[in-house]
Copies of this chain bind each other. A is one copy, B any other.
Amino acid sequence: MPEQVAPNGKLRHLISLKGLDRPMVESVLAKARTYIAAPDAQAPSDTSLTNYTVANLFYEASTRTRASFELAARRLDAKVLNLDVNTSSRTKGESILDTIYTLQAMHIDVFVVRDAGTGVPAMIAEAVAPHVCVLNAGESDTSHPTQGLLDLLTIQQHKQDIKNLKVAIIGDVRRSRVARSAAEALQLFDVGELRLIGPDEFLPDAEDFPGAHRFTDATAGIQGADVVMALRIQKERFDKAGEIPDNNAYFRRYGLTQALLRHADKDAIVMHPGPMNRGTEIASDVADGHQSVIRDQVANGVAIRMAVLSIVTDYVRSMRSSS
């Protein structure tokens, strides 16, 4: 694992929320808050990244996360290079590190990397030159740090102190990078209680998610929760088709319906990382209901990515002025 924070104290890479301390995360959230505008206001923008080049390397298909990073970079006036490469073509061509070295020689300042393989963003961060930054835009089922940050920011907008909150995550937690990064973010802020809800085969191993409570009964798990996060059933993460749960059966036991939500705190907020399978992991009236903060998550996602881009290029600037 590469050092994410440089010797001069500046954030350089964002590969995982593990290893970041609370002041660092607070500073990202504080910066992100400056990039939030009312839903009907014009998109915030500035020139933090003028003359910087950001390369989006997506080795796994994505529409929303790529759009979020692309808009974030462009609203900071960066030049953005999109490279959508599927993993199969990667094996035929040059190695991923040769691609990185090539792009680095083209004066890329920040690599935004999504990959289906655990360890790829860290490997790239270890390999790049000292003035280059790497951001993890989703890594296998391991880590999705900007998602964890946007979830934290969203919860903070709607709730008081994290350490008094009960947060329930429902779904395939075992295969979810979203859940892992959310848990890391929440535990850094001493979340009151973290509950993981799903059928046995969806719950993570005991050593994973330390301190979290596991529930196979959704009603029991959601009881009194202040935050309820439904995860997407990610069919692409199952090795065999037979392992994929039946949509209707899953919805009956774990779907986030109004009936289930009634067991949570009456002011509970509802979250989902998107894209949603309505009628599978969440009922439409809950997704669109007054407790839903799902669209806030999306807006906060752009703000978090703007904040992270702005902060890491601050590192790049510090390297250049000192050399």
Contact = CB atoms under 8 A, between A and B. Distances in A.
A130 interface: yes
B63 A83 contact: yes
Contacts of A302: 106-107
Given A40-B323, A81-B70, A298-B102, A94 B129 contact: no
Interface in A74-97: 74-75, 79, 81, 83, 85, 93-95
Contacts of A83: 63, 67
Interface string A39-58: 11111010000011100000
B320 A41 contact: yes
A105 interface: yes
A121 B290 CA distance: 27
A51 B43 contact: yes
A315 to B, nearest CB: 13
A27 B315 CA distance: 37
B299 A105 contact: yes
Interface in A180-229: none
Contact of A107 (B274, B296, B299): B299
Interface string A146-186: 00000000000000000000000000000000000000000
Contacts of A41: 107, 320
B298 A105 contact: yes
Given A274-B98, A276-B94, A278-B95, A103 B40 contact: no
B320 A107 contact: no
A131 interface: yes
Interface string A308-323: 0000000000011001
A128 to B, nearest CB: 11
A261 interface: no
A1 interface: no
A251 interface: no
A71 interface: yes
Tell which of A40, A83, A101, A274 has the most Cβ of chain B within 10 Å. A40
A71 B79 contact: yes
A274 B104 CA distance: 14
Interface in A100-145: 101-107, 109, 129-131
Contacts of A247: none
Contacts of A298: 102, 105-106
A53 B40 contact: no
A185 B240 CA distance: 55
A275 interface: yes
A81 B71 contact: yes
Given A75-B79, A107-B302, A275-B93, A295 B67 contact: no
Nearest to A82: B82
A13 B276 CA distance: 27
A258 interface: no
Interface in A262-283: 274-278
Tell which of A43, A277, A323 has the most Cβ of chain B within 10 Å. A43
